[in-house]
Structure 1
């Protein structure tokens, strides 16, 4: 695989993991109604897939691969969130006492790391399948979008 393709795939995987981690740590608010239901999340994901499909002018096969990527990413977010109904409570529990719960924090990090380690091959494969199915001009649009996003987020 060419080095720039590896960087893009790994970049997308990294972004996915970071976004998934942040999503797992916080409680998503949907129109002020609490956390988003599975049905709402599915509808939102379908809308986003349509937006990307329109912008990239995807054919049916590419759209199917994008939908598969979205599903794998959703599963990754669920795995990162774990069984907790309120992920924020897990973090609040670490500082509930007079001392920081270092053991609890380490266990939490290990759980999240294992979730990433377990699901990342599927995320990378789905991203690779989708990206590799794009025509060169579509791939360029993706690279341009990433470059535009990079300029907007200087640290």
Structure 2
């Protein structure tokens, strides 16, 4: 595979993980503002426990799942950045008579760089976790993804 295709696919995969993580972590809480560190830790523990119980993970697999959760959390934090209010940034872009293209491109570059920087670590952690699963567990992951629009989907 050509290097630019591989990098593009990794970037897209990383962005989808980041967006999925943001959506999962903020879906029911978006109207109340950013999720607190305590609430994030609570949600993460629930997701790890749910995945662990559904796949009947052993201790080594749970450890790899926790590493994956750490990497995804770090990627999410890098994606969000240090901006206290991301909506304020978007309001600033459209505050004037003209759309602030330069500011929008800077914001996009910042978010893209954050995803590209941490995606290899997230992909590596995901691969390590998935590869640690036995064939039965891997099949269960595939079935859950097929049936429920993702293996972490609610319902």
TM-score band by shorter chain is: 0.7 to 0.9
1:60-139 matched pairs, under 5 angstroms: 60-139=59-138
Q: Distance in 1 between matches of 2:23 and 2:52?
A: 25
Q: Does structure 2 conserve the Cα–Cα contact (< 8 Å) formed by 1:27 and 1:87?
A: no
Q: Does structure 1 conserve the Cα–Cα contact (< 8 Å) formed by 2:68 and 2:129?
A: yes
Q: Does structure 2 conserve the Cα–Cα contact (< 8 Å) formed by 1:16 and 1:73?
A: yes
Give unpaired runs (5+ residues) of structure 1. Answer: 1-9
When residues 48 and 22 of structure 1 are mapped into structure 2, their CA distance, relative to the original with a 3 A threshold, is: closer
SS of residue matched to 1:109: helix
Q: Does structure 2 conserve the Cα–Cα contact (< 8 Å) formed by 1:13 and 1:127?
A: no
In the TM superposition, what whole-angstrom CA distance separates every residue of 1:2-33 from its partner, at most 9, and x where no partner exists? xxxxxxxx696453133246589x79727x75
1:16 alignment counterpart: 17
TM-score, normalising length: structure 1: 0.80
When residues 83 and 76 of structure 1 are mapped into structure 2, their CA distance, relative to the original with a 3 A threshold, is: same
1:142 correspondence with 2:123: no
Give the count of matched residue pairs.
142
Aligned-CA RMSD value: 2.9
Could you tell me how far 1:100 is from its partner in structure 2? 0.5
Could you tell me how far 1:149 is from its partner in structure 2? 3.3
In the TM superposition, what whole-angstrom CA distance separates every residue of 1:69-102 from its partner, at most 9, and x where no partner exists? 0111011000000110011111111111111000
Could you tell me how far 1:143 is from its partner in structure 2? 0.7
Q: Distance in 1 between matches of 2:92 and 2:23?
A: 18
Give unpaired runs (5+ residues) of structure 2. Answer: 1-9, 151-155
